[in-house]
Amino acid sequence: MSERTISLVDHRYAASVPKVPAVAPAAGSVVLDRLGRPLHDLRISVTDRCNFRCKYCMPKEIFDTQYEFLRHDELLRFEEIERVARAFVELGVRKLRITGGEPLLRRGLEDLVGMLSRLRGADGSPVELTMTTNASALARKARALRDAGLHRVTVSLDAIDDEVFRRMNDVDFPVATVLEGIRAAQEAGLAPVKVNMVVQRGVNDQQVLPMIEHFRGSGVVLRFIEYMDVGTTNGWRMDQVVPAAELLERIGSRHGLRPLDPTVVGETAERWMLDDGSLEIGLISSVTRAFCHDCNRARLSMEGKLYLCLFAAHGHDLRALLRGDTARGIDAVDDQALRGAIAQVWNARADRYSELRGQGASEPGGSAPRRVEMSYIGG
């Protein structure tokens, strides 16, 4: 590929406007997809911008000064996000995760956290509210986020060695600031903090054991994630993936480990505890052991498109329903119609990309239309 001829990424991802059924399921109904999977988890991406340029997510040569990020009026407003989230909660969602891009770059994010934290399930129970962040601004914001009603944070950190980390974020950002953010989150009560490390062979796999050493006894949960073939810009290759089984072997050769039971159905991490109880470790084998059969997650992009799989190439344009679009003859809908439209989209879902990849049926980086980027729909 030549260096910078055409930008491979823009936000004109394929999407269609969902149909609004005549009758919507009542609030509190359980909706299932075509493989019998319920809706449980909604990830909400609040911005397409980020102050890092992690090479596997927003490589500099594409996400450069020429790159056209979305205009502010294209983003869902907080009230619109809250409306969509409420519809999802009425359809069974029990967990909301705010993500991005880097969510802490969205101005006034605490206000959105406050609005989402007031949502209640049909039985009156609160919804779990979490965020995934690079923690660059977390030391400053942890307390306000907690006060606004955030429950927990997951921090992405790919190395404990400062030099390796600076190289990976590609903006020379120091690891010390991220560690301050993690401490601030713990002190604010956003606990347990989960730390996610994406492991790439030859890039940061030598950091796995040092990360374990660093976080022993700290109270964080450390999770290792297989590098995935998301989007089209990171030049993913299978030989860069360190299979979770290999990681387990490497960790096990240094530390005693005992398995922990899964905490919830659809949990993506296989959980282990160092035998002295000093650190919980999670292994997320998104590539080598697909967990599509109980994948209960939906993803909402910052401009209001709904995706049913990380590897989706096609979104469902909820913003058109929220705002209406006279040019396209689309009327704005009420809450009940919005709920009905979302339920119908979920009912039709049959995505299971990773399973098919495992069976050799889907080509990484495969055919058009172009798949969405991780920075667009979050982790």
The residues in 262-301 that bind ligand SF4, with binding defined as CB under 6 A, are 290-292, 295
Q: How many other CB atoms are there within 10 angstroms of residue 363's CB atom?
A: 10
Among 215, 311, 346, 376, binds ligand SF4 (CB under 6 A): 311
Rg of the chain over CA atoms, in angstroms?
Answer: 20
Q: What size, in residues, is the chain?
A: 379
**Residue 230's binding partner out of ligand SAM, ligand SF4, none, with CB under 5 to 8 Å set by partner kind:** ligand SAM
Give how far the C-alpha of residue 240 lies from the chain's centroid of Cα atoms, to the nearest Å. 21
Tokens of residue 373, six digits: 């980027």
Interface with ligand SAM, residue 233, by CB under 6 A: no
Cα–Cα distance, 298 to 130 (Å, whole number): 15
Which x/- pattern, by CB under 6 A, does the window 212-251 give for ligand SF4? ----------------------------------------
Q: Spell out where 285-353 has E strands.
A: 297-300, 305-307, 315-317
Query: Per-residue DSSP letters for 15-27?
Result: EEPPP--SSPPPT
**Residue 311's binding partner out of ligand SAM, ligand SF4, none, with CB under 5 to 8 Å set by partner kind:** ligand SF4
Cα–Cα distance, 163 to 165 (Å, whole number): 5
Task: Count CA atoms within 13 Å of residue 90 on its CB side.
Answer: 19
Interface with ligand SAM, residue 333, by CB under 6 A: no
- DSSP assigned state of 297: E
Among 100, 114, 181, 304, binds ligand SF4 (CB under 6 A): 100
Of 77-85, 229-237, 324-332, 352-360, which part binds ligand SF4 (CB under 6 A)?
352-360
Q: How many other CB atoms are there within 10 angstroms of residue 303's CB atom?
A: 21
**Residue 352's binding partner out of ligand SF4, ligand SAM, none, with CB under 5 to 8 Å set by partner kind:** ligand SF4
Residue nearest ligand SAM (C-beta atom): 379
Interface with ligand SAM, residue 136, by CB under 6 A: no
- CB nearer ligand SAM, residue 234 or residue 296: 234
Among 102, 205, 270, 280, binds ligand SAM (CB under 6 A): 102
H or E stretch covering 223: strand 221-226
Of 33-41, 131-139, 301-309, 355-363, which part binds ligand SAM (CB under 6 A)?
131-139
Cα–Cα distance, 58 to 88 (Å, whole number): 29
- DSSP assigned state of 239: G
Residue 335's contacts (CB-CB under 8 Å, 6 or more residues apart) are 83, 86, 87
Interface with ligand SAM, residue 100, by CB under 6 A: yes
The residues in 150-179 that bind ligand SF4, with binding defined as CB under 6 A, are 156
**Residue 247's binding partner out of ligand SAM, ligand SF4, none, with CB under 5 to 8 Å set by partner kind:** none
Bridge partner residues of 274 (DSSP): 257
Among 91, 150, 228, 309, binds ligand SAM (CB under 6 A): 228
Interface with ligand SF4, residue 351, by CB under 6 A: yes
**Residue 291's binding partner out of ligand SAM, ligand SF4, none, with CB under 5 to 8 Å set by partner kind:** ligand SF4
In the chain, count of helices (H) and strands (E)? Answer: 11, 13
Omega prior to 25 cis, within 30 of 0: no
The residues in 39-98 that bind ligand SF4, with binding defined as CB under 6 A, are 50, 52-54, 57-58
Cα–Cα distance, 40 to 94 (Å, whole number): 5
Among 15, 31, 56, 92, binds ligand SAM (CB under 6 A): 56
**Residue 228's binding partner out of ligand SAM, ligand SF4, none, with CB under 5 to 8 Å set by partner kind:** ligand SAM
Give residues in contact with ligand SF4 (CB under 6 A). 50, 52-54, 57-58, 100-102, 134, 156, 290-292, 295, 309-311, 351-354, 375
